Amino acid sequence: MSQSLHAPASPRSFQSVLVTGGAGFIGSHVIRRLLAEHSTMVLVNLDALTYAGNLANLKDVESNPRYHFQRGDIRDESLVTQLFREHAFDAVIHLAAESHVDRSITHPLAFLETNILGTANLLNVARQQWSERRCMETSLFYHVSTDEVYGSLGAEGLFSETTPYDPRSPYSASKASSDHVVRAYHHTYGMPIVISNCSNNYGSHQFPEKLIPLMIRNIVDSRPLPIYGEGINIRDWLWVEDHAAAIDTILHTGWVGDTYNIGGLNEWRNIDLVRKLIELVDAELGREPGFSDSLITFVKDRAGHDMRYAIDASHLEARLGWKPSITFEQGLTSTVQWYLANGAWLEDVTSGDYQKYYEQHYDNR
């Protein structure tokens, strides 16, 4: 069965949506946005609560009657089937993943299992359930992916939707594989799908193993700021709430079978970004300019470190009209202010106390 690309006749409206990985960084922003923007949408958040899942990220919506949390693994076929039967989902937004490149270098199999087999399990159950309910055509499987599937760029050029896949880390290889499986379900079984590949995200509620929250925390505490190699690797940064807005747009108006690159044309060398963070954090804390410069510490480069990522998001802008809503200066300043104002959140994550949130708030319900 060969599937052609087509626009939805009118913007879609979904009533019951399964969000996977909603307790993570991006997923929590997606849930918050969808609840706020779509007044009849019911969301079920399926999340295994690995080290990266933090239910405190969703404290402000946990008593919303249109939001439900289910702890569980996306690879668990009977649990996912039971959830489909109970909630009659008409869409899946799939974000759950092992997501940290450094961990994928030390524990590659966990990435292959969750990111490939987990995605395949969700697709399989969705296919069975939507076929049984004869609602395949009006349903949608939205797979959230990364620009890292395209590999690494030289000094010139941007990743577009037609750039050949060339993943280089176990993380990006597992995400690339999952993208292929999603497309295979579209072409083979006619499953309505969309995929988006986004550049690096930053913003509130990000686990402090990732560059920006890690650096903010270390600048505040005057601890060394470890930078891989010479700090010349380049990443293209997008504010997480703009990513969530793009996901909302694509969910409702994205063409069936289409792929959308999401990015903000905002490239930074790691060393320049860290210098910018030093400037912002020191200013917020009333320190002299340059106070934390000496904390910069160059460390042995990451194995197979991709040199440059940069996204061309013109297809998304031209077809669906999405654009970033704020500048990097605005986004980074508000992000720094959020981490400084939420020391307790950071402290709970660092100490491991955040992992008690489920037992304290959900276990007895």
- Residues tagged active-site: 147-148, 171
Residue 130 CA to residue 341 CA, distance in Å, equals 45
Cβ-proximal residue to ligand NAD, closest one: 24
Judged by beta carbon, residue 29 or residue 282, the one nearer ligand NAD is: 29
Q: Which H or E run includes 94?
A: strand 91-94
DSSP 221: T
Judged by beta carbon, residue 111 or residue 130, the one nearer ligand NAD is: 111
Q: Are 91 and 130 in contact (CB under 8 A)?
A: no
Enter the tokens of residue 213.
């929250």
Q: How far is the CB of 117 from ligand NAD (least distance, A)?
A: 9
Coil vs helix vs strand at 324: coil
From residue 62, alpha-carbon distances to 22, 80, 342 in Å are 12, 21, 19
Judged by beta carbon, residue 151 or residue 282, the one nearer ligand NAD is: 151
Q: Which amino acid is at 79?
A: L
Q: Which H or E run includes 329?
A: helix 328-341
Residue 98 CA to residue 114 CA, distance in Å, equals 7
Q: How far is the CB of 26 from ligand NAD (least distance, A)?
A: 4
Residue 213 CA to residue 200 CA, distance in Å, equals 13
Q: How far is the CB of 329 from ligand NAD (least distance, A)?
A: 19
Q: How far is the CB of 20 from ligand NAD (least distance, A)?
A: 6
Judged by beta carbon, residue 127 or residue 175, the one nearer ligand NAD is: 175
Residue 16 CA to residue 126 CA, distance in Å, equals 13
Q: Which amino acid is at 125?
A: V
Coil vs helix vs strand at 176: helix
From residue 205, alpha-carbon distances to 131, 151, 284, 322 in Å are 37, 27, 19, 23
Q: Are 319 and 199 in contact (CB under 8 A)?
A: no
Q: How far is the CB of 330 from ligand NAD (least distance, A)?
A: 18
Q: How far is the CB of 106 from ligand NAD (least distance, A)?
A: 15
Judged by beta carbon, residue 66 or residue 71, the one nearer ligand NAD is: 71
Judged by beta carbon, residue 80 or residue 292, the one nearer ligand NAD is: 80
Enter the tokens of residue 278.
């030093």
Closest CA to 19 of 51, 36, 2, 44: 44
Question: Which chain residues interact with ligand NAD by CB under 6 A?
Answer: 20-21, 23-27, 47-50, 52-53, 73-75, 95-99, 114, 118, 144, 146, 175, 198, 200-201, 207
